Structure 1
């Protein structure tokens, strides 16, 4: 499916029912909560090496700075070393943002692919590293940079634009998950088109599902938050499914069977 066809489907999208989408999200959550938990745990596990890469050099630089300060009273050299430290910290900080954003976006996109497999009862393995492989790694990094840039820019504008951007940003991951071969600019544009078209519905579902996931998670002794966190992502999958859909034989056969039953 190309960008033009997706855009036409978004423009012609009919009204969606809040209750139906919410109930569908609950039913799908029963099938994918384990995969959602695994995705979250993988995100944490993969973040540890990134954090270590950042903090180990900083520890050595801190030790070197301490020895320099103790043995060298030349204020110029000390100032120069401090500037170098600040520059390195800034570089490390940018690196960790890019790395964490890339990992998070890749795993979330993979989770949506798994949701499709479970929802349509298709055969396929849960390849959690699908978007971190060589074929898509470069695009995932570039898209995560664009994602972070939009989020940071929105936050800098008094956070009000960020509230608006939350919906299109969420759709960026969904559009990428099911159309990884589209150009990045088309992925972002289509995500904003879909977000604009269904903004109020999407925001309402995101708020209600996220709130319920948090409350139920806390009632499960706190740790349950990790189990229920993926529930807040499911409404975006169903909105994309109902508006854009998927062009594969299994889905078409499923719809024919449903029409036959009705």
Structure 2
């Protein structure tokens, strides 16, 4: 499916029913909550090395200051012996960490959407959580993660309203990439904003309600349950994409044959 056809489907999209999509999300969640939990745990495990990269030097620097004797934390004019260059380097490393974690989260979430499609349409196929980290798509996943982080940071710096608006197109960015990985980065971003603008209100409402419900139910399950329910908030964008754009039958058949050949 090329970008022109997808844009036509977005422009000619029918009205969506809030209750129908919400109920569909609940039914699909019953089938994929285990896969959603695995996706979240993988995200946490893969993010640990990048978090350690930035926290270990900071902890080491703190110990160096305490043991050097030249820095008194209770002295109002006390200064650390650490060079300002160190903090500049750490700022660059921190940005790298944000981009890396965004890339990991985006790739795993896109793979989760492919698994959701298998469960939803009752197709045969392999549950490949690292599909978008393989050679054909790794570079594009990194670039899209960089774009995702850049848009998020820019929207946040512009105060509250832009990030409230951007959360909808950003949620569709992962879905569009999951089912159209051969499109260019600019095309994926454009289609995400086209779909987000077309269905912004119902999308934001579904994201808000599903996220709130997932959080409340998770906290009622002794807080640990939030790891189980978190993936529920991922499902409304999937069904909005399915209803507005849908899936190309020919490419679906080719994907099915590809998955069967890898089992």
TM-score by length of 2: 0.87
Provide Cα deviations, 1:152-193, integer angstroms capped at 9, x if missing partner.
111111211110111001000000000011000000000000
**C-alpha displacement of 1:54:** 2.5
1:256 aligned partner = none
Provide Cα deviations, 1:181-234, integer angstroms capped at 9, x if missing partner.
100000000000000000011011111111111111111111111111111110
The question of 1:236 aligning with 2:243 is answered: no
**Alpha-carbon separation, structure 2, partners of 1:23 and 1:40:** 23
1:56 aligned partner = 56
Deviates more, 1:202-211 or 1:54-63: 54-63
**C-alpha displacement of 1:147:** 0.9
SS in 1 for 2:213: helix
Contact 1:110 1:130 (8 Å CA) reproduced: yes
SS in 2 for 1:231: helix
SS in 1 for 2:83: helix
1:86-165 alignment to 2 at 5 Å? 86-165=87-166
**Alpha-carbon separation, structure 2, partners of 1:42 and 1:191:** 25
The question of 1:181 aligning with 2:167 is answered: no
Provide Cα deviations, 1:79-105, integer angstroms capped at 9, x if missing partner.
895212111211211111011111111
In structure 1, list runs of 5 or more residues that go unmatched: 72-77, 253-262
Contact 1:106 1:131 (8 Å CA) reproduced: yes
**Alpha-carbon separation, structure 2, partners of 1:69 and 1:248:** 70
**Alpha-carbon separation, structure 2, partners of 1:97 and 1:48:** 12
**Alpha-carbon separation, structure 2, partners of 1:215 and 1:184:** 35
2:12 aligned partner = 12
**Alpha-carbon separation, structure 2, partners of 1:192 and 1:163:** 13
The question of 1:211 aligning with 2:212 is answered: yes
Contact 1:40 1:226 (8 Å CA) reproduced: yes
**Alpha-carbon separation, structure 1, partners of 2:69 and 2:107:** 43
1:76-87 alignment to 2 at 5 Å? 81-87=82-88
User: How well do the aligned residues superpose, as a CA RMSD in angstroms?
Assistant: 2.0
**Alpha-carbon separation, structure 2, partners of 1:191 and 1:225:** 27
Contact 1:168 1:195 (8 Å CA) reproduced: yes
**C-alpha displacement of 1:241:** 0.4
The question of 1:196 aligning with 2:190 is answered: no
**Alpha-carbon separation, structure 1, partners of 2:89 and 2:210:** 41
